[in-house]
Structure 1
Amino acid sequence: MATGLIALLDDIAAIAKLAAASLDDVAAQTAKASAKAAGVVIDDAAVTPRYVVGLTPERELPIIARIALGSLKNKLLFLLPGALLLGYFAPWAITPLLMLGGIYLCYEGAEKLYGAVFPHAAHAHEEAVLGEKSDPAALENEKVAGAIRTDFILSAEIMALTLSAVADADIYMQGTVLAGVGILITLAVYGVVALIVKADDAGVALARNPLSALRVVGRGLVLGMPAFLKVLAAIGTAAMLWVGGSILVHGMAQLGQAGPEHFIHDVSESVAHTLTVAPGVVGWFTTSALQALLAIVVGAATIVIMGNVIAPIWSRLRPAKS
């Protein structure tokens, strides 16, 4: 009896050690995969704040909460099982699907650039595609939906990078790491976004503080945040173009059309060697600029197709459905 109890305790201890080792492995794999996706995570954090610009301050945090919830649903309900199923049954479909998402990012980025250069024409295009949104609730819903769509593409890239980092693990480990990365990154991104968009309110509170040093900090936040948000919106647009272009370039290479990737690599190497100052940084910026340029071309073509082909067809179908 005692021997049996000791054996049972030994088995429990062995299982506990195995579970602890598995948890350590999950944590290590999650950290590794999160680091690999860090570039896209930064882009995600830069893109999101522009969706709350122009809305009333009391709606900023609720909108961010809605987008964060949509992001979690994207990652855990759709992308996680989708990535596992595609990775197991149809790995060949992952690259074309990511490229479709890349085209959408190119369209979104080019549309924002179009709006900055030709605001009236861009507004007419937006009305043709989405319809007029005069109701504040409808405008908010459209902004949230647009943010969640963009998040879906960026999240798909994050999950694809995560899956590639644990490609040799079993499906249970892959699922656990994908879930861990999805939750960790969503909390980090939207926590940072919430801090950014409410920094001006914190500045107002600090400006009323009796301590002079805190008042100076508060006034700096109040005066500086509008300009910072504009800069961040520009970075977000650039990030969409860069990520969209890079997805297309790498996707074409994986599908056997490596010409654009080789061309961009050769030009970047040439520029880096010519300037000789910080060649790694210069090469990265050159690569990103060329990928963004490709994204602008693809996005411009998509704007034309959306405005002249898809939107008219959709407008004819809508009355038939109602």
Structure 2
Amino acid sequence: MPLGTLDRTPPPFFRQGPSALTKLALCSALALLMMVADARFKLMQPVRAGFALVLHPVQRLLLAPVDAWETAGDYLRGTQRAMAAEDQARRQLSAQAERLSRAEALQIENDRLRKLLGLLPSLSVPAIPAEVLFEAPDPFSRRVVIDRGATVGVTAGSPVINEAGVLGQVTRVYPLSAEVTLLTDKDAAIPLLNARTQMRNAAAGRPDGAGMELRFLAANSDVRVGDVMTTSGLDGVYPPGLPVARVSAVERRGDSSFAQVLLAPIAHPDSARHVLVLLPQDRHLSAKREADVAAVAEAASAAESKAAARAAKKAERAEKAAVKASGAAQ
């Protein structure tokens, strides 16, 4: 019998389930379903967390040789680095001592001038340190979550700053955390003051979240690229004088009566890790006013008590003098 006429298919007794193509399609559909379910409903998060917990000792064990090598290298280079750090610290200490002496002299001069002009002393706004945990899961907003909440005094509307300038404002408060809306969010707005021209305006976040822009600014306004914008303090939320943004582009069109001014935030929100949460200015002023009223009331009560004590002493002296006079008359 020719070989081409032989039936090479296995008999029905030895067939093992569906074909390989069917298995591939089924496994592909199941994998796609699991990926979509994990992305939308986080179904695989407990499994992933369990695997991470189980593999953590293995990862630490595999990193032990690398850590030992780095520790040995750091130990050998420690003396040299310590000597260099000490030398640098001594130089910085001498430079800072000189700057500190100048700063103290300027502070004394500033206090004298403020007293001479009859100005109020500068406000010291209470601040709460916090750390950025993660960004909000909403892809259409620019918000971050910090690790401080209502239990430590964070309130809705509190300004949030870092070492460079203003980052945003607290919009939602939870017991142990809070949500901060950044200035680059499309729904954020802040009143600004041009440090060069002292012109006031309001800035809002751009719809694409790439920065900020000045809205409804006249085309003939005196604004240049590089101008620094600070908080004006007129909204009663942000303290005045905090750096906010710098003008990055100015576009004046002939067919429009408004200029398009783009701003670049000075405090980069994407790299912010540690922040300060300030008490809103209006609440700080009301608290300060209440404290001043309480201090005045306490001083008035103390003065009244002293006056009453002096009056009682005078009455006692007059009574003693009357007793002596009556005794002399007898």
TM-score range, shorter chain: under 0.3
Instruction: Name the structure with the higher helix share.
Output: 1
TM-score (structure 2 length as normaliser): 0.23
TM-score (structure 1 length as normaliser): 0.23
